[in-house]
Amino acid sequence: PSTKIFYPEGNDKMKKNAEFLASYIKEITGYELATATGQPGKGISLVIDQSIQNPEGYQLTVSDNGIRIAGSTDAGVFYGIQTLRKSIPATAQGMNVELPAATINDYPRFAYRGMMLDVSRHFFPVDSVKTYLDILALHNQNTFHWHLSDDQGWRIEIKKYPELTQIGSKRKETVIGHNSGTYDGKEYGGFYTQDQIRDVINYAAERHITIIPEIDMPGHQLAALATYPELGCTGGPYDVWGQWGVADDVICAGNEKSMQFLEDVLSEVIDLFPSEYIHIGGDEAGKASWPTCKLCQARMKKEGLKDVNELQSYLIHRIEVFLNGHNRKLLGWDEILEGGLAPNATVMSWRGTEGGMKAVESGHKAIMTPGEFCYFDSYQDAPDSQPEAIGGYLPLSKVYSFNPVPDTLSAEKVGLVYGVQANLFTEYIPTPEHAEMMIYPRVLALAEVAWSAPSKKNYEDFHVRALKAVEELKKSGYNPFELKNEIGNRPGADKPVEHLAVGKKVTYGLDAAYYPGYAAGGDTALVDGVRGGWTYGDKRWQGFIDKKRMDITIDLEKETELHFIGADFMQVCGPEVFMPADFYIR
Ligand code: ACM
Ligand code: ZN
């Protein structure tokens, strides 16, 4: 308890670091350590050391002279403090803490390490957003991507358009389950005032986290259109969307009033958020109303745009000019590549890493957040054992295996891979506790992907640490997924199983060709002994589209005694994956 924490005199940010460290130690041990300026004696000293190269790197030294955490910036020192914090067992209340003598030189692999939270599908109050930021800070994540607007609710106060939050922040009711057609009949809403947002920005900044706000356009605009129907192509009426999935939700790209609206909103967003980047979405714009809209068609004619993709690109280019004119950079989901990428844009690659690769090959920066590895809204264990989720299957091991820099990327372009992010879309995540369960422990894997050199990664070692971390997190009051109870992938999906059809010839007769996008390895997929996993996204399920009747023959070559005969089918209604209506074996 008599240990002191020293920081350099006159450096407020280092003083803040010292106070953070004192508060962490108090939480873990109960001891209230004093902070002090000046030359360290025995104790913990936080120092700025310009010889440390990486601006977020640190050196942590434990010796019999005490503990020294050095970085060339206060951010680096903050990450060293997080390491020290995690080195003290959460059971240390009132106990002596002993640390082994060590010198750790540590620095991040990527400059951008982020997490996204969707507060539109479900609203997360300020306190829970702060908890989310605490989670980021604990794992050296430096960016919070705040998805503030979508079809299901507008969540940020805009002074010039007060109706956005009076009308656009509320939906009449919410669909039950996977678009069952049944609704809960309960009004749902919420939004942040600008004062609350400023408070959250400061809270994040103290923890060396930049908040990148997202205003999604030109699609995902239904909450705004429900408020101001004249901004859409048809004039509405529109409703704040009470179900999941993409609606006809584009703003009119031919209407100058709509462009003015977007720029006005962004003006207030820029005034609030100091981030270098502003995220403008750009994803999943259905554009269904654009081809028949007079204003959109007139714009396309006037500007010589050959299709609706080019019209979207026109809108994004204009928004980029606007942002650049206000000293900000444009960030968007990978659809902003379609119809031509805006000249200074950075791409957030979510539909695989291909979009990011494309951006990087043409000299743009990219942030990798592919659905397959980075969507924490998908199931982390056997779906039957978990609360309802959006789908997919993303266990801890898969997150950990992600390499954001594809091998095929040329060496001189590697530096353009700015970093990595995980996303939490919240259609099926109604509460902060549920969000924690989806984040933990997967964020531990993400943090290591973002921070550590690939040569240092080892899943077996990580798994042991993750099990320990889950116990510590529970003691700290978090609600992590119980990793020790993990069931894992569907039996047979990771290792082949034996059966009589393995290696036999399959003939696809009578209109039975599988869809090339769901080939699952081709003609031998059904007889390779490897079963499909919990998601068709694992590319192990063969898919068939628009079939009325199909015959598939598996030739066992000789008369064979059978004990069991069957086949596996998958049904996931949301993305329209269905069982066959009938199935015959003969
Ligand atoms: C996204 O998942 N629509 C970016
Ligand atoms: Zn239009």
Q: Is 351 in the pocket of ligand 1 (CB under 6 A)?
A: no
284 is catalytic: yes
Beta bridge partners of 277: 329
* SS3 state of residue 424: strand
Of 74, 106, 118, 150, catalytic: 150
Q: Which of 121, 246, 284 to mutate to test the pocket of ligand 1 (most atoms within 8 A of CB)?
A: 284
Are 209 and 200 contacting, i.e. CB atoms less than 8 angstroms apart? no
The tokens of 415 are what?
A: 């530096």
Are 152 and 121 contacting, i.e. CB atoms less than 8 angstroms apart? yes
Q: Cα 114 from chain centroid?
A: 8
Q: Residue 546: what pLDDT? A: 84
This prediction has a pTM of 0.95
Residue 477 vs residues 116, 207, 379, 474, 480: alpha-carbon distances, Å: 22, 20, 23, 5, 9
Are 188 and 244 contacting, i.e. CB atoms less than 8 angstroms apart? no
The amino acid sitting at 307 is D
Q: Which ligand is nearest to the CA of 250?
A: 2
The tokens of 223 are what?
A: 């909450």
Q: Residue 162: what pLDDT? A: 98
Shortest CA distance to 313 belongs to which of 280, 289, 268?
280
Low-confidence ranges of the chain (pLDDT < 50): none
Cα-based angle 98, 25, 396 (whole degrees, multiple of 5): 85
Alpha carbon of 549 to ligand 1 centroid (Å): 35
Phi, psi of 427 (to 5 degrees): -50, -40
> Cis before residue 274, ω within 30 degrees of 0?
no
157 is catalytic: no
Cβ contacts of residue 343 below 8 Å, gap of 6+? Answer: 317, 320
Shortest CA distance to 27 belongs to which of 91, 79, 77?
91
Q: Residue 252 gets which letter from DSSP?
A: P
Half-sphere exposure of 525 (CA within 13 A, CB side): 21
Strands (E), 182-276: 188-189, 210-217
Are 407 and 368 contacting, i.e. CB atoms less than 8 angstroms apart? no
Q: Give, using CA atoms, the residue closest to atom 3 of ligand 1.
A: 283
